[in-house]
């Protein structure tokens, strides 16, 4: 049954989803938290948040039997928005969790920021984003990450940031948007990114009493 909510937010067990739900509410959207694979499969729009480790997030997805469901949403161009770790799990793997396999929606392995004097790892704070003119706009967003994707996967629009070297800040293709940054705590810029995805994904209904 299609849930009576504007946006389904996947409970991976590795994320504090309260800020995501609040960000959607500020945009006039209701959110339904779920780990139910059938609800995620049939939802109009899905958000995959993430804070924690790559291995734990992938294990949680597998435990809920969501691996195939989430992979198929991307393949079928069903609306999906991934945030931070919720972006990383759609890649192939991460140095953070050797042996853990991502969903493989795009090719790429996440690697730790280099150990350099004065380079803070994890990266906590605001960073400049530069889009390619095809997807995510330029702006400033809040990041909290130790691992990054260095090369752009084929077939995706890419936005970049720099912390000890350039890395992928966001990927976009069709109705899928994946952000390494946290739009839910990135002020007006983050709200604009979410609203743009909602509009492109046709999740346009207003919350009613």
Residues involved in catalysis: 84, 182, 184
| Alpha-carbon distances of 149 from 28, 112, 158, 174, 176, rounded to whole Å | 32, 9, 11, 20, 17
Q: Give all strands of the β-sheet with 79-83 in edge-to-edge order.
A: 31-34, 7-10, 45-48, 79-83, 176-179, 166-173, 157-162
Which neighbouring-strand residues pair with 107? none
**Structural contact between residues 9 and 45, judged by C-beta atoms closer than 8 angstroms:** no
| Alpha-carbon distances of 4 from 36, 43, 88, 195, rounded to whole Å | 14, 9, 28, 20
Which neighbouring-strand residues pair with 191? none
**Structural contact between residues 47 and 11, judged by C-beta atoms closer than 8 angstroms:** no
Q: Establish how many alpha carbons lie within 13 A of residue 166's alpha carbon, considering only the half-sphere containing its beta carbon.
A: 10
Helix (H) or strand (E) holding 46: strand 45-48
């Amino acid at each position: 049954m299609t849930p009576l909510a504007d946006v389904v937010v996947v409970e991976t067990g590795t994320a504090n989803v309260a800020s995501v739900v609040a960000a959607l509410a500020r945009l006039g959207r209701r959110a339904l938290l779920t780990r139910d694979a059938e609800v995620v499969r049939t939802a109009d729009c899905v958000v995959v948040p993430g804070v924690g480790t790559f291995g734990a997030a992938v294990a949680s997805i597998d435990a809920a039997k969501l691996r195939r469901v989430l992979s198929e949403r991307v393949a079928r161009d069903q609306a999906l928005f991934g945030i931070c770790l919720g972006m990383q799990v759609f890649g192939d793997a991460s140095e953070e969790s050797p042996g853990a396999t991502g969903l493989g929606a795009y090719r790429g392995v996440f690697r730790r920021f280099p150990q350099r004097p004065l380079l803070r790892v994890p990266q906590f704070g605001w960073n400049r984003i530069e889009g390619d003119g095809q997807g995510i706009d330029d702006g400033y967003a809040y990041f909290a990450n130790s691992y990054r994707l260095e090369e752009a996967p084929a077939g995706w629009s890419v936005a970049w940031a720099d912390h000890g070297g350039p890395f992928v800040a966001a990927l976009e293709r069709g109705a899928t948007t994946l952000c390494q940054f946290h739009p839910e705590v990135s002020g007006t810029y983050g709200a604009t990114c979410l609203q743009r995805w909602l509009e492109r994904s046709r999740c346009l209904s207003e919350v009613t009493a």
